[in-house]
Structure 1
Amino acid sequence: MKVEIKDVKYIAKLSKLSFTEPEFQTLIGEFESILSHFESIDNFDLSDINLDLNADDLKPVLREDKVKCFEDKKKLLQNVKSMRGTAIIVPKIIE
């Protein structure tokens, strides 16, 4: 699949990353390589694979929840940029 620079710039904008022009050219090659790999996977014949073979034997693995009190809250919240009371304020990321 052919990847164009506008596609890579759009992905970079969505992920809020900035690249130089040579880096964009490198990313184009990498994206094309990844997509060609997916195309080769898409060509596998999986018609003879039975996905329900062991479905009856599968059971969810659960662990018991244990409540732990973290004593040093100052250390826990040392990297928080801003708080309101006991709530952590995070920047809005939805456009």
Structure 2
Amino acid sequence: MNISTEEVNRIAKLAKLKFSKAETIKLTSEFEKILEHFHSMDKLALDDIDLHALEKGAQTSLRKDEVEVFEDKESLFINAKTVRDRYVEVPKIIE
């Protein structure tokens, strides 16, 4: 499956990402490999596979929830660019 650099640039624009020309070419190649892999998976005969076989008898291990008081709240905001009261401010991403 062929992916063009224009398609990679379009996806990058939608994701608000910027890539150099070399990165775009590399990503084009990587996207092609990923899509080829999915295409090869589509060719597999999976009609006789029981999709729920792993669920039967499966146990999830969950830890018990325990309330802990965290005293050093200032250390949580050390790497935040802007903090107002106890909230981290982030730039608006939806236009």
Number of residue pairs matched?
95
Give the share of equivalent positions with the same residue, in percent: 44
In the TM superposition, residue 60 of structure 1 has moved relative to its aligned partner by 4.1
* Bigger mean CA deviation after superposition, 54-63 or 31-40: 54-63
* CA distance in 2: counterparts of 1:31 and 1:56, whole angstroms: 35
* CA distance in 2: counterparts of 1:54 and 1:5, whole angstroms: 40
Distance 1:12 1:58, change over 3 A: same
* CA distance in 2: counterparts of 1:55 and 1:69, whole angstroms: 37
TM-score for both structures, normalised by structure 2:
0.81
Letter in 2 for 1:85: D
Mark the runs of 5 or more structure 1 residues left unpaired by the alignment.
none
Mark the runs of 5 or more structure 2 residues left unpaired by the alignment.
none
Pair 1:74-2:61 in alignment: no
* CA distance in 2: counterparts of 1:32 and 1:5, whole angstroms: 11
Q: Can you list the C-alpha shifts for 1:21-66, whole angstroms capped at 9, x where unaligned?
A: 2322222111111100110011111111112335442344332111
TM-score for both structures, normalised by structure 1:
0.81
| Kept after mapping to 1: 8 A contact 2:77/2:83 | no
